[in-house]
Each structure stands twice: as structure tokens, then as C-alpha cells.
Structure 1
Amino acid sequence: MSTPAHIPAEPPARRPRLTVQSGGTVTDRLVEANRRYAAAFDDPGMDARPVLHVAVVACMDARLDLHAALGLELGDCHTIRNAGGVVTDDVIRSLTISQRALGTTSVMLVHHTGCGLEALTEDFRHELEDEVGQRPAWAVESFRDVDQDVRQSMQRVRTSPFLPHIDDVRGFVFDVTTGLLREIDPAG
């Protein structure tokens, strides 16, 4: 079971940073952490359908603790993350499955201040091609104006023929220094 959205989540307890043991890898540490987790795991008996019927699309940036920042609990939402939180064809694929097969009706887009995509350009693809001899099929989706990129992402969701639920699509910029969300007006 999940905590209802109207009950604010407690801030996460600070845990000591885990370090890689000598001779081990980061993945080894994560697998060991999973063993400890599984030892105390109690199947919550949840369905794959999110309790709040919402999908959150956000950047993969490690500074964004979405569940804590949005007061979400396990089972509340579908979380779709990628570089920049950009709405790509694969994000549309995930949202389509989320809406059509698993019952979500709302989409929340979360970009953030200081995003690494602001420092990249499409030249990154050319550099990869020079290095590996093959050009990636995907676009970098870099941007200079985070507000405008959120608007573009909202527009991509709202105009997708695959998504039946486009009335509750909202976009935000998360400030990594204050932790606050700022809503973006789709009209500009």
C-alpha cells in the first residue's frame, strides 16, 4: 500500500555514503546492498498501476530525488528518466504504455537548473561518430533555455497521437539549489 499524496513525506534520513571496497566495483556494492534489502523485504502486494495515476518524466541527474521532492511513496507514480528529462520517442513509448495499459491520466515533466545538456551540442554526435565510426541514430536534444525546452516537451506530449490523456500535462523546472519547483506556462 502507498501513502496518500496529501500526507507529506518525511525527508529522507541521511545515510552514510557507501564506498567501494578494495577490489570491488560499484556494481558489486549495489548487489550487496540488494542482498541486505532483500533480507528484510516484505512484498507489499502492489499492482503495477500507479496509485496516483501519474507519470513523471524527469532528468536522470543524480541530484534529483524525485520521490522526496514530490512527496511520493512507492507505488504512487511511474517515473521515466533520461538525460535532460526530454520527451523523446522512447519517452512517448513509455507514456503510451503507462496510459493505455496501466491507467495513468496525468503527466508531470520535470527539468532542472544547471542541466548538463545545456553544455552539450549536437556536435557530440559527430564526435562519437569520429571516435567509434558510427553516428548515433538519436539526437542529443541539447538546449540553452530550460523553460523553452519544458514547453517543447509539453507540446510533444500534447500532440502525440498515441496518448489519450493530454489534458493534465504540466511542466516544471526544479531548482537544484533551493529544491523548489517552478511551473512553466506552456504559452510562454
Structure 2
Amino acid sequence: MSHTVTDELVEANRTYAGGFTAPLPSPRPVRRTAIVACMDARLDLHAALGLELGDCHTIRNAGGVITDDVIRSLTISQRRLGTRSVVLIHHTQCGLLDLTEEFRSELELEVGQRPAWPVDSFTDLDQDVRQSLARVRTSPFLLHTDDVRGFVFDVTTGLLREIVPAEDAAR
């Protein structure tokens, strides 16, 4: 059997476990914050935001899209685990900028079944962040929507750029 990346990860875990100390006393994030971001491997959120283990809940998916499942996770994070702030982070050079609904058709041709999930692609990062902000701020399931902010992370500079929500820009 050949050596795989998963084998390397398991070995790294053995090394990690050798110096492992007792876990934090609670699953509640110390900073009472949930971060929703893209799954892109170039985003090291803890380093970029100065976070430590236990500071926040991190919810990631392709594009950092606010799906029903993200709302579900945020709802549990707020209602059961005490978070009060939500930070949304999209990024430059995102793969969803080039993906279209045709992707679902290609999958259907290849595997004989069309995926039930939408692609949720976008062409305007700022507008997609605004849409994400609106989805979070208007969700009836979320208790705390006063401190919801959205950003675009620049993968070439490491800097965040804040996006002003549509309703705030109109003022």
C-alpha cells in the first residue's frame, strides 16, 4: 500500500497528541464570535485575525456562502453557545468567481444525477458580501444581528477590506 497524505496527517496527529494538554473547559468561544469564511486553503483565519484556539467558532464552505446550513450553525452558535458577533469573510481570487450553474449540468452529464445544491457563484465580491450580510441580519433564527460585519480578504496582501452593508450605504 502506498503512503498517502492522510497517512501523513495521522502521523502528525500522533506527534500533536504527544504534547496535547487538557482541552478548554467549554465549547463556548471566548470572544463570543462566529466567523463564516471560504474554505480556500490560502486563508489562515487564526493567524490573519490574531485568534487563539477557543476564541471563536469558524464555519467554512466554498465561497463562505450563507446557506441554510450556515444559518443552522450560527443559530446553534448563538442560542446554545453564547456567540454575539458574526464576521463574514470572502476573498479575492475566489474559485466561485469563475464557477457557473453549468457546473451542475456537467456533473449531471458525468454522473447521471444533477446535484440538489446550487452552485451559489458570484461575479461581484462586494455585492456578494452585502447579500451575505443581509441574509444573516434578516434571519429570524438569529438572536444577535447588531454586530454582523463583512469583509473581503486580499490573498496577495493579507489585508481585510470592510464592506458597507447596502442599508448603511444608503444613509
Superposition TM-score tier, normalisation by shorter sequence:
over 0.9
For residue 143 of structure 1, the aligned residue among 122, 128, 135 is: 122
Q: Does 1:176 align with 2:155?
A: yes
For residue 40 of structure 2, the aligned residue among 61, 70, 73 is: 61
Contact 2:151 2:163 in 1 (8 A): yes
Shift of 1:134: 1.2
Q: Does 1:185 align with 2:167?
A: no
Shift of 1:44: 3.5
For residue 99 of structure 2, the aligned residue among 120, 131, 146 is: 120
Structure 1 residue runs without a partner (length 5+): 1-21
Q: Does 1:40 align with 2:42?
A: no
> CA deviation digits over 1:57-105, x for unaligned, max 9?
0000000000000000000000000000111111001001100110001
Matches of 2:52 and 2:23, distance apart in 1 = 12
Matches of 1:130 and 1:164, distance apart in 2 = 43
Q: What is the aligned length? A: 167
Shifted more, 103-112 versus 131-140: the winner is 131-140
Write out the 4+ residue segments of structure 1 that deviate beyond 2 Å after TM superposition. Answer: none
Shift of 1:45: 3.3
Aligned to 1:155: 134
Contact 2:24 2:54 in 1 (8 A): no
Aligned to 1:109: 88
Taking only aligned residues, the RMSD between alpha carbons, in angstroms, comes to 1.1
Q: Which amino acid aligns with 2:139?
A: S
Q: Which amino acid aligns with 2:75?
A: T
Matches of 2:96 and 2:82, distance apart in 1 = 31
Percent identity reads: 77
Between Structure 1 and Structure 2, the one with more helix by share is 2
Matches of 2:101 and 2:140, distance apart in 1 = 27
TM-score normalized with structure 2 length: 0.95
Matches of 2:25 and 2:41, distance apart in 1 = 26
Structure 2 residue runs without a partner (length 5+): none
For residue 80 of structure 1, the aligned residue among 31, 52, 59 is: 59
